[in-house]
Amino acid sequence: MYDRPALPQLVFTDVDGHPIPYGSRWGDDGPPERTYSRTRHPERFAPLIDVAEALIAHLEATYDVDVRRTEGLPGDAPEALRRFEHGDLRIVRATTLLPRHDASAPLVIAETSFPSVVVAMGAAGLERAPDCGCDACDESLEASAEELERLVFSVVDGYYQERYSWTDGIEITIGGADGASYNRQPRHAAGKERIEALKQSQRERHGERWLPWPPRRDDADAASWDEPPRRMRTRAEHEAVIEDALERIKRRLRTA
């Protein structure tokens, strides 16, 4: 069972010395223009790193997954994560989680220099907690922690889905028990590398949906399973099954 680490009760003050009520700063008139693209206290999001570490520890202990930690950007980082770095914003360290199941989406949880946490999902998904971080957006630490958990468990539980088509471009759904968010990026606006990564992923999955991550199996427990965890067929295996089915149909027709 995952337990979020206790979030510190951080207090930050404005220029007059008053505590800033992050998450409920602006009224009906909305934020002042000067607060856009400005973050006075980005350090308030630093505890998200502890939340990310707790999530990683939970996933490693609960699911059948390979875990690899790297300093900076992983050499095989998804294209969406590579494009995230710009200016002074860098990936500090990253954890790549690869389920031992061909039909389950991979996940990269990365700490940034903001500080924030970036989550790369499947072949083309990329989200961040906090989503923006500027003063105008007024995101709180607790809300950002909830969003980070939502992103991770969307992938783990099989609610994260992505697809590419010529007419619709890239479509991404991030779902969960409380509903789903949907995003579409037209083909002409999506990067070529990102499109190719998603197309390759779809070919390898034969268009199938991402499935939930398989639970972890200890060696002692593996023998008690009625059957091994499902592995997606390779393209050659898939074509061989189709060819075998066609041959059986032909034989039946000849003997009819």
* Per-residue pLDDT tens digits for 51-90: 999 999 999 999 999 999 999 999 999 999 999 999 999 9
Residue 31 identity:
P
117-121 and 125-129 strand pairing: antiparallel
Supply the pLDDT for residue 108: 98
Tell me the pLDDT tens digit for each residue of 97-140: 999 998 999 999 999 999 999 999 999 999 999 999 999 999 99
Supply the pLDDT for residue 223: 41
Q: Predicted confidence band at 249 (pLDDT cuts at 50, 70, 90)?
A: low
Domain extent listing, the chain: 34-229
- Answering whether pTM is above 0.75, one says yes
- Whole-angstrom Cα distance, residue 61 to residue 80? 27
Is the pLDDT confidence value at 95 over 80? yes
Tell me the pLDDT tens digit for each residue of 187-239: 999 999 999 999 999 999 999 999 999 999 875 454 444 444 444 444 555 55
Give the CA count within 13 Å in the CB-facing half-sphere of 48: 32
Q: Residue 118: enclosing H or E segment and its boundaries?
A: strand 117-121
- Lowest mean per-residue pLDDT among 5-19, 60-74, 156-170, 213-227: 213-227
Nearest to 128 by CA among 141, 147, 143, 142: 147
**Mean pLDDT on 13-41:** 93
CB 49 within 8 A of CB 94: no
Supply the pLDDT for residue 226: 43
